[in-house]
């Protein structure tokens, strides 16, 4: 009966305009709707499918500001059992290394975990590094970019897919895995799931609770600094080709001009 | 007083909206034009418990209220999938059976309303008894332990995809005078029961039918609840019906507004998007305000109904239904206008929306009959009929 921790992150809705705050180049969280990252919905889905087949318990863990409770609630409404929320003002501007350290400590509060499931990369930070850093910090094997996961009592097998091709991995539990887009289609929360979510336990922790000092985290202590940022230039209008019998060759001409063929 | 919906209600809206948008208005219109049904959407929404949010928990439902069901209906509409049968099947039929059905009827039907695996149409309108339901002549006659039902109904939605129809008739010993209704559950495969499609200009996968009941023999337990309480039973279903019709309409209004604002932001003919011209911006703002007002009244009506205050809910539900029908019709008309020539092009689907929005002014009760109700009951004015 696997005990699974799913790492979930709240991100600005990909459909809304995303901006950095002009003062410190951190994410302007007020300007966009915040949602549970879709890749994390897939991570939750995978955990739920394992639980439905084998029993066990699913805990979701997030490090994020107060309103990240909405993302937690969504994961709970999908069917996760409980949640841990690390929320602390001093984390504002935390970088990937700090976030990984905080996540590692927070995972330590979940007793007897067998499997940690993350998304392969977030849609806002797009670091794609948390799962690997976390595995390093916890001294666990990492099986990333999973498109298929199988676990039995003591080991996990993963079909890993990247642009480079497919690899088949196996490791002993406990382990860290990260899932890719193709892993599954996340479920919609059912009405009963939504109603039950509010009653499920959420443990809120500060970094002090995790034995981390404020001087180790936050924008001022980040390993790298954003010096400057500019909004993405608006996408230029595309070139339209009307097919008057010569559409194919016009497209070929365009591709040649872009050195694509 | 609280003007903010609960976290759960908002989460429900979001989840339903996500589901609805995956299908979208093109899916809905395509199914309608093909003469098909929106079965995939209905079944998926059913499995997620969205169509049975108001069914009591002990029968496998969500244990929520009509406010939850109305939220589901509104969000699906706004996402481009106005499911007319939601107004009928879970709102009217399931409510009446849950509140007045016998234990056996509840056990038979409610679990299937809970997951949407049953669809029940509702037939009250007759050729000679439209707005005046006291003139209903469909009659149930006792024959031994059975009922034998005869009569005709018109404009009954969705019979072709339904498992049964809840028919409002009257019992034989009450054949004249004021309506003493009796409610019968008639399976669509009952012998002597036939129907014929009415050609409608509306583009909807939920089509309307004329029903013929020709000595349809039904078992004793086809009668819902008790013969004597039937008027109360009927009214129990009508408040949810009005609240749902209002939500159906405000959802269509929101859909129209989305299409209109999207177009008004991008279409440019004088060097600035047409939405900048006040001649278009103000009517759209006005339409938005009216939709929001109608939504507020709809939520009030649902809150009163769910709190058990049937009397106050009745007035609010009628007002909400009226306001929503007007708001939706005006929003759809203005959305069409905003699109210029494209407003009439099938590709944009606005012609279909205008007629869909207009349903809210006619069914389930016309705007004039609501104005009559308000004139008489709220204002105490004399009656002309
Ligand atoms: C209080 C607070 C304020 C923050 N402010 C900012 C800010 O202003 N600007 C900014 O850019 N970032 C901010 N962060 C977010 C933080 O910097 C990122 O979480 C971190 O950099 C991870 O990078 P990534 O998203 O690129 O990770 P990736 O490596 O791309 O993520 C891969 C996977 O790791 C998991 N994961 C990643 N982050 C988290 C998390 N936080 N909690 C749980 N699981 C996670 C998810 O499963 C995710 O799919 C803030 C965080 C906190 C707690
Ligand atoms: C799309 C659609 C779906 C429908 N689905 C169903 C269904 O599933 N089940 C069902 O039972 N019915 C259904 N109906 C029927 C609908 O409820 C009736 O059309 C409606 O109640 C009006 O009745 P009527 O058509 O007979 O109009 P009439 O009663 O003939 O009214 C005609 C006009 O006269 C006005 N009028 C009538 N009396 C008065 C008065 N006293 N004062 C002022 N004006 C008055 C009306 O407001 C209306 O404008 C549906 C109708 C439509 C259009």
**B262: contact with A, CB 8 A cutoff:** no
pLDDT tens profile A23-71: 788 877 777 789 999 999 999 999 999 999 999 999 999 999 999 999 9
- What was the ipTM of the complex prediction? 0.90
Q: How far is CA A87 from the centre of its chain?
A: 17
Residues B251 and B213 in one domain: no
Ligand closest to the CA atom of residue B358: 2
Homologous superfamily assigned to A3-221: HUPs (3.40.50.620)
Q: Which atom of ligand 2 is nearest to the CA of B384?
A: 41
> Of B222, B247, B262, which residue sits at a domain end?
B222
Question: A190, B48: Cβ pair inside 8 Å?
Answer: yes
In a domain, B2, yes or no: no
Residues B143 and B256 in one domain: no
Written as tens digits, the pLDDT of chain A (261 aa) is 899 999 999 999 877 777 788 778 887 777 778 999 999 999 999 999 999 999 999 999 999 999 999 999 999 999 999 999 999 999 998 999 999 999 999 999 999 999 999 999 999 889 999 999 999 999 999 999 999 999 998 999 999 999 999 999 999 999 999 999 999 999 999 999 999 999 999 999 999 999 999 999 998 889 888 888 888 777 777 777 778 888 888 888 888 888 888
Q: Which of B14, B70, B116 to mutate to test the interface with A (most CBs of A within 10 A)?
A: B14
> Of B92, B119, B146, which residue sits at a domain end?
B119
Chain B nearest-CA residue for A187: B48
Round to whole Å and give the CA distance between A42 and A8: 10
CA-nearest of B335, B356, B358, B357 to B259 is B335
Ligand closest to the CA atom of residue A119: 1
In a domain, B385, yes or no: no
For the residues of B306-357, what is the DSSP string, one character each?
Answer: HTT-HHHHHHHHHHHHHHHHHHHHHHHHHHHHHTGGGGGSGGGTHHHHHHHH
Residues B302 and B372 in one domain: yes
The label of the residue with tokens 């950095």 reads A20
Chain A nearest-CA residue for B17: A188
**B187: contact with A, CB 8 A cutoff:** no
Q: Where are the domains of chain A?
A: 3-221
In a domain, B212, yes or no: yes
In a domain, B384, yes or no: no
Provide the residue range defining the domain that includes B136: 121-222
In a domain, B338, yes or no: yes
Question: A198, B8: Cβ pair inside 8 Å?
Answer: yes
> Of B119, B145, B166, which residue sits at a domain end?
B119
Tell me: pLDDT of B174 over 70: no
Tell me: pLDDT of B184 over 60: yes
Identify the weakest region by mean pLDDT among A75-84, A231-240, B55-64, B283-292.
A231-240
Query: What per-residue confidence (pLDDT) applies to B351?
Result: 94
Query: What per-residue confidence (pLDDT) applies to A234?
Result: 75
Tell me: pLDDT of B175 over 60: no
CA-nearest of A77, A71, A64, A82 to A4 is A82
Ramachandran bin of A26, using left for φ above 0, alpha for ψ from -120 to 50, beta for the remaining angles: beta
Q: What are phi and psi of B170, to 5 degrees?
A: -135, 160
Ramachandran bin of B290, using left for φ above 0, alpha for ψ from -120 to 50, beta for the remaining angles: alpha
Number of folded domains that form chain B: 3
Q: Which atom of ligand 2 is nearest to the CA of B130?
A: 26
> Average pLDDT, whole number, for chain B?
95
Round to whole Å and give the CA distance between B249 and B287: 13
Interface of B with A in 15-54 (CB under 8 A): 15, 18-19, 47-50, 52-53
């Amino acid at each position: 009966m696997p005990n699974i921790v799913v790492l979930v992150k709240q991100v600005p809705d990909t459909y809304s305009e995303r901006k950095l705050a002009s003062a410190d180049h951190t994410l302007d969280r007020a300007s966009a709707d915040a949602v549970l990252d879709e890749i994390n919905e897939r991570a939750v889905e995978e955990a739920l499918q394992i639980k439905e087949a084998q029993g066990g318990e699913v805990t979701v863990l997030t490090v994020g500001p107060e309103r990240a409770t909405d993302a937690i609630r969504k994961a709970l409404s999908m069917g996760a059992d409980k949640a841990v929320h690390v929320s602390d003002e001093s984390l504002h501007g935390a970088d990937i290394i700090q976030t990984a350290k905080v996540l590692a400590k927070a995972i330590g509060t979940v007793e007897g975990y067998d499997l940690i499931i993350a998304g392969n990369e977030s849609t806002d930070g797009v670091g794609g590094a948390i799962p690997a850093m976390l595995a390093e910090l916890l001294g666990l094997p990492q099986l990333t970019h999973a498109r298929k996961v199988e676990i039995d009592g003591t080991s996990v097998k993963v079909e890993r897919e990247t642009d480079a091709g497919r690899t088949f991995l196996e490791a002993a539990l406990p382990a860290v895995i990260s899932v890719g887009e193709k892993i599954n289609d996340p479920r919609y929360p059912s009405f009963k799931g939504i109603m039950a979510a509010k009653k499920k336990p959420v443990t809120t922790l500060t970094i002090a609770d995790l034995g981390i000092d404020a001087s180790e985290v936050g924008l001022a202590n980040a390993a790298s600094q954003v010096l400057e940022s500019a909004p993405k230039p608006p996408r230029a209008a595309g070139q339209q080709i009307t097919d008057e019998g010569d559409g194919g060759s016009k497209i070929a001409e365009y591709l040649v001009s872009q050195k694509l063929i | 007083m609280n003007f903010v919906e609960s976290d759960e209600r908002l989460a429900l809206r979001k989840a339903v909206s996500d589901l609805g948008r995956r299908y979208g208005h093109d899916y809905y219109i395509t199914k309608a034009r093909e003469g098909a049904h929106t079965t995939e959407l209905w079944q998926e929404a059913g499995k997620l418990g969205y169509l049975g949010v108001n069914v009591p928990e002990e029968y496998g439902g969500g244990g929520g209220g009509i406010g939850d069901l109305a939220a589901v209906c509104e969000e699906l509409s706004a996402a481009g999938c106005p499911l007319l049968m939601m107004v009928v099947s879970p709102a009217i039929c399931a409510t009446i059976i849950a509140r007045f059905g016998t234990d056996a009827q509840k056990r038979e039907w409610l679990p299937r309303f809970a997951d949407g695996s049953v669809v029940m149409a509702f037939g009250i309108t007759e050729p000679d008894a439209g707005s005046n339901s006291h003139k209903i002549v469909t009659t149930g006659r006792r024959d031994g332990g059975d009922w034998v039902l005869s009569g005709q109904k018109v404009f009954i939605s969705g019979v072709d995809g339904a498992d049964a129809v809840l028919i409002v008739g009257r019992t034989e010993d009450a054949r004249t005078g004021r309506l003493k209704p009796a409610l019968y559950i008639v399976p669509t495969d009952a012998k002597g029961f036939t129907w014929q499609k009415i050609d409608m200009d509306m583009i909807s996968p939920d089509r309307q039918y004329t029903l013929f009941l020709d000595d349809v023999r039904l078992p004793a337990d086809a009668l819902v609840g008790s013969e004597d309480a039937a008027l109360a039973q009927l009214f129990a279903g009508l408040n949810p019906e009005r609240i749902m019709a209002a939500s159906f309409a405000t959802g269509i209004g929101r859909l129209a507004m989305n299409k209109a604002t999207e177009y008004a932001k991008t279409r440019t003919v004088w060097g600035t998007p047409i939405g900048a011209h006040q001649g278009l911006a103000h009517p759209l703002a006005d339409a938005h305000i009216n939709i929001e007002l109608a939504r507020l009244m709809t939520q009030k009506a649902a809150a009163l109904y769910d709190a058990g205050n049937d009397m106050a809910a009745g007035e609010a539900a009628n007002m909400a239904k009226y306001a929503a029908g007007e708001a939706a019709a005006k929003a759809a008309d203005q959305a069409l206008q905003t699109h210029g020539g494209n407003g009439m092009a099938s590709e944009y689907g606005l012609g279909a929306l205008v007629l869909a929005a207009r349903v809210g002014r006619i069914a389930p009760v016309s705007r004039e009959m609501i104005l009559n109700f308000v004139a008489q009951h709220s204002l105490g004015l004399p009656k002309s009929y």
